[in-house]
């Protein structure tokens, strides 16, 4: 063989390998989550133990919620996300649109005491494609050092620029913000979604948001709010409660959570429709939805298991040793003035609200 | 520029073939990486076959519908059949998303209807579908399907300039709360113009200084211009966040100097100020470098000659130096302006909600709302605007006078 032939043979081999070598490698999946301290809790509490017990490697990607990236992958037919951690309303919408695989709740592992999965999950937390994993909530929080005088205690205080002048952080999405606006405007918790269902109620919510619009810094990633509080860039901000907890406990930040009017939601994981790694993805979902996995997350960040058998396993924080129960959004003391997120309202209105909200922002 | 390349009328000789062979990779590269994506993107702004492909029978039934009242039962039956087919083929989501853009809220109506109809085998379809959602008893729903069913459409371009086509075919202004793009285009033009002006004011003296320094000092100064130019865009932008934020370097300094008190810290980032400051800094080298290269070619003796003929320094500058530096001003201004118009990362990071430009809206429609047709149309309008400005520039100043160095 002369040089040229050798080169040709090597080229062909490389081409064949590129086409074939990588294709039958079922031992890794891509799990997409929300990054930051929650992402680390999932990594330590679920991904690492999953790899240890199955040998399937888990590649982690971060995102900030929404269906856009899943939609783009399914539309183009090039699916590289296998399992996604998403909000329940997105899980339902994704299911209806055929973006997610259907999952039978009976295929999931029973509780540690043998209770079938369908009974072990708290009622109302299972829908078509998504498997519920934890309770989380959006709250607002402030940095004690930056508010010297009277402290905010109610949702109305968050919107009160006279009593608490300064900039606020809010997530750059319509959900949660509209509810908060109505709660702050004096709407009783059980009337919030009834109000949102009327054009006047919607106008009222946007009008309330308008009153603080000039003072709002909009965040997207869950890791931003604690950072903005620490930097003093905002005097208070809405945030995922677990992120604030981690800053309080692990970084000794003087942050205070205001639980009044918190929006309590259920987080779900689901499988992207048409993934070539369906079997591995299903094994991951089964593993992540076991009470033990949920409890391992609950021992790292203040999101509580949605399985009845999960909560007793949580106990204390894995490194800091603090009792987790008082920090959980669903604990009775914190949930006294909590609003349950009505995902069915958002399933029907998300598109309309996204459009109205982004137009409102751009004005 | 024009006329510098001449092709002979006869057959290509060997030298020309070889020359063509040498540039072929470049032409291929430009074609694959520039012309083709641009073409397909612009195509998307007028061509959208998703609904037409998903609902051919329904659309055929709607052809005979006059738009008054509800379409015939046959249209309902065809739609029910095709919704089920689309759900099975997983194209339902895409199709529902298209219809949703004309009538917001229809995405969930369509997907829910497809879900409810999964078990239904028998008509009457109209009453059954209206029972799932009252939207099916509304002609507007059917109009939305009919409109999105057109393969070629001017909808996206109308949308991009805040217009909409009504059911009777007439064109009218968009509803008040959806009218945002024209305002954003104008804001983008104004901000880009302001940034160009700031770059010129800041860059002109710098370029003049460099051009008239000793070679050693000039190269040192040039490096000072180029080092930020070579630094990552993200680093420079986040550096501005550190400087400008309310607990940032600048505010801390002013508080410690007693210029402002602690509660009156200035909001200089996450708003328009942040966008303008950071973009001016990021784009400044694009102004300095062409200016410098033109100024270097202006003999210093001209100013001396003007002075010896009795001109004041200001008059000498204005009558002698400035006209000679104009090609650099033109090149730098055009470069900065066109780059600013399409800028995306910097406003996204430091612009907050008030400092967003049209490019951020294009990114939003590309990544979040996935309305690529509208994103392409907005990009098309932007491209047309830039081309018009370029044409104007050519008419007023002349492109051949531009000195890019």
pLDDT of residue B161 exceeding 70: yes
Same structural domain, B121 and B265: no
Q: Could you tell me the pLDDT band of residue B107, with boundaries at 50, 70 and 90?
A: confident
**Closest Cβ–Cβ partner in A66, A217, A360 for B270:** A217
ipTM of the complex: 0.71
Nearest to A265 by CA among A355, A171, A74, A135: A135
Please determine, for residue B135, whether its predicted confidence score (pLDDT) is greater than 70.
yes
Q: Picking from A311-325, B161-175, B288-302, which range would have the lowest pLDDT averaged per residue?
A: B161-175
Q: Do B111 and A274 touch (CB under 8 A)?
A: no
**A99: chain B residues, CB-CB within 8 Å:** 93
Q: Please indicate, yes or no, whether residues B293 and B361 belong to a single structural domain of this protein.
A: yes
- Answer for the pair A2, A188: CB distance below 8 angstroms, yes or no: no
Q: Convert the pLDDT of each residue in A35-47 to its tens digit.
A: 989 999 999 999 9
Give the domain range for residue B38: 2-43
Q: Is residue B245 within a helix (H) or strand (E), and if so which, with residue range?
A: none
Question: How many residues comprise chain A?
Answer: 363
**Cβ count within 10 A of residue B146:** 23
Structural domain contains residue B156: no
Tell me how close the Cα of B349 comes to any Cα of chain A, in angstroms: 10
What pLDDT does A16 receive? 47
pLDDT score recorded for residue B396: 78
Beta bridge partners of residue A219, listed in sequence order: A171
DSSP state letters, A103-165: --GGGSPPPTT---HHHHBPTT--BTTBEEEEEEEEEEEEEGGG--SSPP-SHHHHT-TTTS-
Nearest to B383 by CA among B101, B160, B162, B179: B160
Residues B28, B91: one domain?
A: no
Q: What angle do CA A154, A158, A160 make, to 5 degrees?
A: 105
Say which of B108, B177, B361 has its CB closest to residue A356.
B177
Q: Is residue B166 part of a domain?
A: no
Tell me the domains of chain A and their CATH numbers: 26-135+266-335 (3.40.190.10), 137-264+338-362 (3.40.190.10)
pLDDT band at A59 (very low <50, low <70, confident <90, very high): very high
Does A167 contact B367 at a Cβ distance shorter than 8 Å? no
| Helices marked H in chain A | 3-20, 36-42, 48-54, 68-76, 88-96, 117-120, 155-158, 177-184, 192-196, 199-212, 224-231, 241-251, 278-288, 291-298, 343-362
Residues from A in contact with B at Cβ < 8 Å: 66, 68-69, 71-72, 74-75, 93, 96-99, 165, 167, 213-214, 216-218, 231-233, 273-274, 347-352, 354-356, 358-363
Cα A50 vs. chain centroid, distance in angstroms? 20
Per the prediction, chain A carries an average pLDDT of 89
Any domain includes B393: yes
Q: Check whether residue B15 and residue B104 sit in a common domain.
A: no
Within 10 A of A329 (CB to CB), how many other CB atoms are there? 26
**CA A32 and chain centroid, separation:** 11
Number of domains observed in the structure of chain B: 3
Q: Where are the alpha helices (DSSP H) in B138-248?
A: 139-148, 155-160, 181-211, 215-230, 233-244
Which residue, of B149, B173, B207, is where some domain finishes?
A: B149
Q: How far is it, in rounded angstroms, from Cα B171 to Cα B163?
A: 7
pLDDT band at A3 (very low <50, low <70, confident <90, very high): low
Closest C-alpha among A189, A181, A175 to residue A348: A175
Query: How far apart are alpha carbons B146 and B45 in whole angstroms?
Result: 18
Q: Give the mean pLDDT of A111-134.
A: 83
Helix axes B322-341, B372-396, angle to 10 degrees: 170
B contacts of A145 (beta carbons < 8 Å): none
Give me Rg for the CA atoms of chain B.
29
Q: Are A83 and A118 in contact (CB under 8 A)?
A: no
Give yes or no for residue B399 having a pLDDT over 80.
no
Calculate what percentage of chain A has a pLDDT beyond 90: 62
In terms of DSSP bridges, do strands A83-87 and A255-271 run parallel, antiparallel, or are they unpaired?
antiparallel
Chain A residues close to B48, C-beta within 8 Å: none
Do B22 and B76 belong together in one domain?
no
pTM value surpassing 0.90: no
In a shared domain, residues B38 and B137: no
Which of A37-41, A67-71, B261-265 ranks highest by mean pLDDT?
A: A37-41
B9 and B86 inside one domain: no
- Dihedral class, residue A186 (left if φ above 0, else alpha if ψ from -120 to 50, else beta): left
Q: Is residue B213 part of a domain?
A: yes
Residue ending a domain, among B97, B131, B149, is B149
Q: From the CA of B354, how many Å to the nearest CA of chain A? A: 7
Across B198-209, average pLDDT: 96
Of the spans A116-120, A139-143, B359-363, which averages the highest pLDDT? A139-143
Lowest-confidence segment of A22-31, A170-179, B25-34, B56-65 by average pLDDT: A22-31
B contacts of A66 (beta carbons < 8 Å): 368
Identify the top-confidence range among A168-177, B125-134, B157-166: A168-177
* Rounded Cα gap, residues A181 and B120, in angstroms: 42
């Amino acid at each position: 063989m002369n040089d040229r032939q050798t080169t040709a043979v090597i080229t062909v081999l490389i081409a064949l390998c590129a086409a074939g070598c990588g294709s039958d490698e079922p031992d890794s999946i891509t799990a997409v989550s929300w990054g930051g301290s929650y992402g680390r809790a999932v990594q330590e509490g679920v991904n690492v133990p999953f790899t240890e017990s199955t040998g399937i490697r888990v590649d982690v990607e971060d995102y900030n919620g929404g269906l856009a990236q899943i939609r783009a992958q399914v539309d183009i037919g090039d699916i590289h996300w296998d399992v996604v951690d998403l909000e329940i309303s997105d899980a339902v919408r994704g299911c209806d649109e055929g973006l997610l695989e259907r999952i039978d709740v009976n295929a999931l592992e029973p509780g540690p005491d043998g209770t079938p999965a369908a009974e072990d999950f708290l009622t109302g937390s299972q829908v078509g494609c998504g498997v519920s994993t934890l309770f989380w909530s959006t709250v607002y929080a402030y940095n004690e050092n930056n508010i010297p005088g009277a402290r905010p205690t109610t949702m109305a205080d968050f919107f009160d620029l006279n009593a608490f002048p300064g900039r606020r952080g809010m997530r750059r999405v319509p959900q949660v913000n509209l509810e908060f606006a109505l709660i702050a405007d004096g709407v009783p918790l059980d009337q919030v979604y009834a109000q949102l269902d009327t054009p006047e109620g919607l106008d009222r919510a946007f009008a309330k948001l308008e009153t603080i619009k000039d003072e709002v810094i909009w965040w997207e990633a869950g890791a931003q709010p604690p950072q903005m509080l620490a930097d003093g860039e905002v005097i208070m901000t809405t945030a995922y409660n677990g992120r604030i907890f981690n800053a309080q406990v692990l970084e000794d930040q003087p942050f205070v959570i205001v639980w009044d009017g918190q929006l309590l939601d259920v987080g779900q994981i689901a499988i992207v429709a048409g993934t070539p790694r369906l079997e591995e993805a299903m094994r991951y979902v089964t593993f992540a939805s076991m009470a033990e996995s949920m409890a391992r997350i609950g021992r790292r960040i203040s999101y509580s298991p949605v399985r009845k058998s999960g909560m007793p396993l949580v106990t204390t924080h894995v490194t800091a040793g603090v009792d987790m129960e008082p920090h959980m959004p669903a604990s009775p003391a914190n949930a006294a003035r909590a609003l349950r997120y009505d995902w069915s309202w958002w399933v029907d209105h998300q598109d309309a609200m996204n459009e109205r909200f982004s137009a409102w922002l751009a004005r | 520029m024009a006329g510098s390349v001449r092709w002979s009328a006869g057959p290509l000789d060997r030298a020309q073939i070889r020359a063509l062979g040498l540039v072929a990779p470049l032409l291929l590269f430009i074609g694959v990486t520039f012309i083709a994506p641009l073409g397909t993107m612009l195509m998307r702004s007028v061509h959208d076959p998703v609904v037409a492909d998903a609902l051919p029978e329904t659309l055929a039934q709607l052809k005979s519908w006059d738009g008054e009242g509800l379409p015939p039962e046959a249209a309902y039956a065809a739609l029910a059949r095709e919704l089920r087919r689309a759900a099975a083929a997983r194209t339902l989501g895409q199709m529902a998303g298209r219809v949703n853009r004309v009538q917001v809220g229809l995405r969930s109506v369509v997907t829910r209807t497809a879900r409810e109809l999964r078990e239904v085998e028998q008509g009457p379809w109209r009453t059954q579908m209206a029972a799932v959602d009252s939207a099916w008893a509304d002609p507007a729903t059917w109009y939305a399907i009919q409109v999105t069913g057109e393969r070629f459409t001017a909808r996206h371009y109308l949308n991009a300039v805040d217009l909409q086509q009504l059911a009777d075919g007439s064109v009218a202004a968009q509803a008040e709360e959806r009218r945002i793009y024209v305002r954003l285009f104008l804001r983008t033009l104004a901000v880009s113009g302001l940034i160009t002006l700031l770059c010129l004011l800041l860059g002109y003296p710098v370029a003049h200084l460099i051009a008239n320094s000793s070679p050693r000092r000039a190269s040192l100064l040039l490096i000072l211009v180029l080092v930020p130019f070579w630094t990552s865009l993200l680093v420079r932008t986040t550096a501005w966040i550190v400087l400008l934020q309310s607990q940032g370097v600048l505010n801390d300094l002013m508080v410690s100097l007693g210029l402002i008190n602690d509660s009156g810290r200035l909001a200089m980032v996450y708003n328009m100020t942040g966008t303008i400051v950071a973009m001016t800094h990021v784009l400044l080298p694009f102004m300095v470098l062409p200016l410098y290269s033109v100024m270097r070619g202006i003999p210093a003796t001209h100013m001396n000659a003007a002075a010896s003929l009795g001109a004041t320094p200001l008059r000498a500058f204005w009558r002698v130096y400035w006209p000679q530096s104009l090609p650099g001003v033109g090149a730098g201004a055009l470069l900065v302006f066109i780059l600013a118009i399409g800028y995306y990362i910097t406003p996204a990071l430091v612009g907050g909600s008030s400092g967003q430009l049209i490019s951020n809206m294009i990114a939003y429609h590309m990544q979040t709302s996935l309305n690529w047709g509208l994103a392409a149309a907005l990009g098309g309008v932007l491209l047309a605007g830039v081309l018009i400005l370029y044409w104007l520039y050519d008419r007023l100043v002349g492109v051949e006078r531009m000195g890019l160095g």
